[in-house]
Amino acid sequence: AQKVTQAQTEISVVEKEDVTLDCVYETRDTTYYLFWYKQPPSGELVFLIRRNSFDEQNEISGRYSWNFQKSTSSFNFTITASQVVDSAVYFCALSHYNAGNNRKLIWGLGTSLGVNP
Amino acid sequence: DTEVTQTPKHLVMGMTNKKSLKCEQHMGHRAMYWYKQKAKKPPELMFVYSYEKLSINESVPSRFSPECPNSSLLNLHLHALQPEDSALYLCASSPYERESTGELFFGEGSRLTVL
């Protein structure tokens, strides 16, 4: 079954700490995409990254970095030197082909990150 | 500031009311989406419009009626809703016709309460 697991429901850190949000996925597809979205208290979901299953290179964007490992089916997200503005719910998502041969997103349940000053 | 604008931000309605949620984007995207999000849950896809035509309906009850008057506007008409329909309704747009292909641009949502 296609599935995305974000085992950490809530994480609380103090500003400037590094924090890693875990994402483990299951899929039978050989080609798939993985995503991370951020949802701050204002409500809108903000796209952070899309990763193709064929590209296992890690990615860094400012304080954000992503570690994609097909061997462990994980796509973890690290925030370095966290800031209060990083407080949000973070969703990991997997694209897969459903029974109708259409690609859909499977979302994890999200990790709520609180960064305290 | 988000480039997808949703109105109203908050809406309270009775089960016999008729109301509409509105969404507007000016990024020239070909696809627009409606999602429903309950508290502490991920968003659930409801409808997708591609080139102003309904391309996906995720078996949504008929009390929700989408409309795409033009490529920039998306409406969700609400009628005879139930209290369990209370949720955050998110609109999104994308250059892609499938939510799973690329980046989705979301609005801040309309928080609906059904009494």
Q: CB distance from B42 to chain A under 8 Å? A: yes
pLDDT digits (tens, 9 = 90+) for B36-89: 999 999 999 999 999 999 998 999 999 999 999 998 999 999 999 999 999 999
Query: Could you read off the pLDDT of A13-51 as tens digits, one per residue?
Result: 999 999 999 999 999 888 889 999 999 999 999 999 999
- The answer to whether the Cβ–Cβ distance between B90 and A45 falls below 8 Å is yes
Residue A12 CB-half CA count within 13 A: 2
Structure tokens at B93: 């747009």
- Interface contact B101-A95, CB threshold 8 A: yes
- Residue B63 has φ and ψ, to the nearest 5°, of -70, -10
- The reported pLDDT for the residue numbered A101 is 60
Distance CA A91, CA A6 (A): 8
